[in-house]
Amino acid sequence: MDFLQTILEAKLKEVADMPETAVTRQEDRPSLYHLIRENPEHIHLIAEIKRASPSKGIINQEVDILKQARDYQEAGVSAISVLTSETYFNGSFTDLNRISQVVDLPILCKDFIIDEKQLIRAYNAGASIVLLIVAALTVQKLKELYDKARKLGLEVLVEVHNEKELAAAEALGAKLIGVNNRDLKTFDVTLETSVALAPHQSETVYISESGFRTAQDVRKISSNFQAILVGENLMKATNVTKKALELQVTRND
């Protein structure tokens, strides 16, 4: 069984045990879509809180997540991504909630979402964006969860890995589309995935995810993408602020 199937089975059990929750949160966060559209002069950075991963094991288990989130905000990142999956990533909704109390930025709940209960949990914990992975959902389920998330007032980052999934995300009318450079089966990461897809719809914000280490990497995708999502490299950086500043490449650099 491949990784996606394994984690989706785990999520099915997790969701079955998750109590139904009412929507309790009211507060608003800025829109990532508008923030990026209104500031086209540089590549935007979505900086991730990532203690561990299936491909790398422990990345930074000792991290002070609140300091890391504040450092990201001070470095001018456009959003913070929080992995909430305990399995493989050592994340949690508690992490998300604690971070939401110390930063004003848009916050992405990065999880394997298959059910509305997870959307409400993410929203109540303080997320303003949720991730929906095309490869993890049927077309019908993707649309159902997309519509429910939008009704809650959440932005949705629709994640794709290839042309077919990109077409599905665009057909859905997704405003934020992420191209993940990591193959979910092999865990191989190549920026060529983003380069080859070269997405170009004018009203859409395209975000290239995974595998960025240097400003030079960012320049490889900067003609078709408005933002990048970075985890490991920021979590391992000796100077987080410096690394975050380096990755926010100006378009004319």
Ligand X SMILES: O=C(O)c1ccccc1NCC(=O)[C@H](O)[C@H](O)COP(=O)(O)O
126 contacts ligand X (rule: CB under 6 A): no
Of the listed 53, 60, 128, 159, which one is catalytic?
A: 159
**Residue at 190: amino acid letter:** T
CA distance 5 to 184: 10
Instruction: Identify the residue among 14, 29, 47, 53 touching ligand X (CB under 6 A).
Output: 53
9 labelled catalytic? no
Lookup: tokens for 72? 């990201």
Instruction: Identify the residue among 84, 193, 210, 226 touching ligand X (CB under 6 A).
Output: 210
Instruction: Identify the residue among 3, 18, 35, 86 touching ligand X (CB under 6 A).
Output: 3
50 labelled catalytic? yes
Nearer to ligand X, 115 or 232 (CB): 232
Distance of closest approach, residue 229 Cβ to ligand X, in angstroms: 5
91 contacts ligand X (rule: CB under 6 A): no
Tell which phi-psi region holds residue 122, choosing left (phi > 0), alpha (psi between -120 and 50) or beta: alpha
182 contacts ligand X (rule: CB under 6 A): yes
**Residue at 229: amino acid letter:** L
214 contacts ligand X (rule: CB under 6 A): no
CA distance 3 to 11: 12
CA distance 21 to 132: 20
Q: What torsion, rounded to 10 degrees, do the Cα atoms 244, 112, 225, 205 define?
A: -110
Binding site for ligand X (CB under 6 A): 3, 48, 50, 53-56, 180, 182, 184, 187, 189, 209-212, 229-233
